[in-house]
Chain A
C-alpha cells in the first residue's frame, strides 16, 4: 500500500513569494490533515478535512494561508505571501475515520520550507 505522498520535499523561496504544497493521501482515507512542525517541536494542526469539507481550520492563519481539497482526495496548501517565520516542515497526514472510531493518522515525509 502506498503511503501519503507529498511534494515538493524541499522548497527555498524569498520572502513575499507564494508557495504551494501538494499532498496525496492513502487511497480510501476520508480525513486529511495539514500540520506545521517547527524545529525541535511537535507537529501542530493547521487544518483538517473530512472528505471535501474543512471541519477544523481554527489554527490556519487565514490572512496568508489557504488550503483546498477538491474531490475529497488530493489537497494543496498555499502560502501567499511567505514570511521568514514560515520556515518549517509542513506535514500532511491521512486517516480513515468513522463514527465512534478513532484510527491512527499516517504521515507523509513532509515539505521542508526555507524562506530567505
Chain B
C-alpha cells in the first residue's frame, strides 16, 4: 500500500529564513505526490503536485518541492518564510490506481516574527 511519512510533528523557523518540511514516500509504481496546507478551522488548500517531469516543482505562495527518487523524498521548501505561513502542512500520495489520496500525519509549521 502507498504511504507517506512526515517525520517532524513541528518545524520552527524565524521569519525571513528558509524553511523545509520533510516528507518521504513508499509506493509501488510511479509516485504522484502532493502538498496541502490547512489553516485553523479551514479545509485543506492545494499547494503543489509532482506527477512527472522536473524534480523541482513550484507551487502556490512561493512554495516549491523537490522530488528525489533515490531518497524517496518530496520535501516542501520556501526560500524566505512568512509569519502567515504558520499552518499545518500535509504530504499526500495517490493510492495506486485509485483516485484517492493517502495523507501523512501532518507537520505544524510555526514561523516566529
Q: Which of A's residues lie within 8 Å of B, judged by CB?
A: 4, 6, 31, 33, 40-45, 48, 50, 56, 91, 93, 95, 97, 102, 104-110, 112
Q: How far is the CA of A45 from the CA of B45 in the complex (A)?
A: 17
Which has the most chain A C-beta neighbours within 10 Å: B36, B42, B101?
B101
Which of B46, B100, B104 contacts A48, CB < 8 Å? B100
Known: A102-B51, A102-B94. A43 touches B44 (CB 8 A): yes
Once the chains bind, are B43 and A109 in contact (CB under 8 Å)? Answer: yes
Q: How many residues of B contact A (CB 8 A)?
A: 22
Closest B residue to A103 by CB, please name it: B49
Query: Given the complex, which residues of B lie within 8 Å of A97, measured CB to CB?
Result: 99
Q: How far is the CB of B98 from chain A (nearest CB, A)?
A: 6
Q: How far is the CB of A47 from chain B (nearest CB, A)?
A: 10
Which of B43, B101, B106 contacts A108, CB < 8 Å? B43
Query: Given the complex, which residues of B lie within 8 Å of A91, measured CB to CB?
Result: 43-44
